Amino acid sequence: MQPDMQLEAISRAIQLAIAPVFLVTGVIALLSLLASRLARVIDRARALEKRMLESPQPDPVVEADLAMLARRASLMNWAIGLGTACALLVCSVIAALFLSAFLGIGLQLLVGWLFIAAMALLIAALLIFLGEVFLATSRLRIGEMQAGFRRRPWERDLG
């Protein structure tokens, strides 16, 4: 391949790689969010375990909360793993684009399948994250016990 044609092929590869680079940036931001949520779940579980150890008798509410936190941590681990695999596949797409430009071989099919796989993993990670959010809000307790009955957040105090 002549130098001008090779430079043009490399320039084209850079243009094609810009979108996947932005996608990797977004996935990394998602991974940061997931890791932060996992850290909060772990901190909360440690606090509840400490409270349970200090309590003279078992508390079923604390035990139920710990079971829920364990489930949430498991979901977050899966979402982080799938998100990381997605980022790795997108990086492979970028590498394949440059290999194609440098070596002058057609890797379009490989690039296409890698991108489809990356999107499938990202969709799975987002669905698992959504499930974790639903799970987290299912045990949400706002306005615990007031005046001897359970109040809902939308109920006002008329007294």
| Number of domains forming the structure of the chain | 1
Whether 100 is covered by a domain: the verdict is yes
Whether 155 is covered by a domain: the verdict is no
Whether 64 is covered by a domain: the verdict is yes
Q: Letter for the amino acid at 47?
A: A
Q: Which phi-psi region, left, alpha or beta, contains residue 158 (left: φ > 0; alpha: ψ -120 to 50)?
A: alpha
Contact 68, 74 (CB under 8 A): no
How many angstroms separate the CA atoms of 155 and 159, rounded? 12
Whether 133 is covered by a domain: the verdict is yes
Using a CB cutoff of 8 Å and minimum separation of 24, what contacts does 134-139 make?
135/68, 135/71, 135/72, 135/75, 136/72, 139/64, 139/65, 139/68
Whether 156 is covered by a domain: the verdict is no
Degrees, nearest 5: CA angle 29-122-103: 90
- The range of the structural domain enclosing residue 45 comes to 3-150
Question: What is residue 12's predicted lDDT score, i.e. its pLDDT?
Answer: 73
Whether 159 is covered by a domain: the verdict is no
Q: pLDDT tens digits for 103-135?
A: 878 888 999 999 999 999 999 999 999 999 999
Contact 122, 83 (CB under 8 A): yes
Beta strands in the chain (DSSP E): 145-146, 149-150
Contact 10, 101 (CB under 8 A): yes
Q: pLDDT tens digits for 28-76?
A: 999 999 999 999 999 999 999 998 888 888 888 888 899 999 999 999 9
pTM: 0.77
Residues 6+ positions from 91 with CB-CB distance below 8 Å: 24
Whether 79 is covered by a domain: the verdict is yes
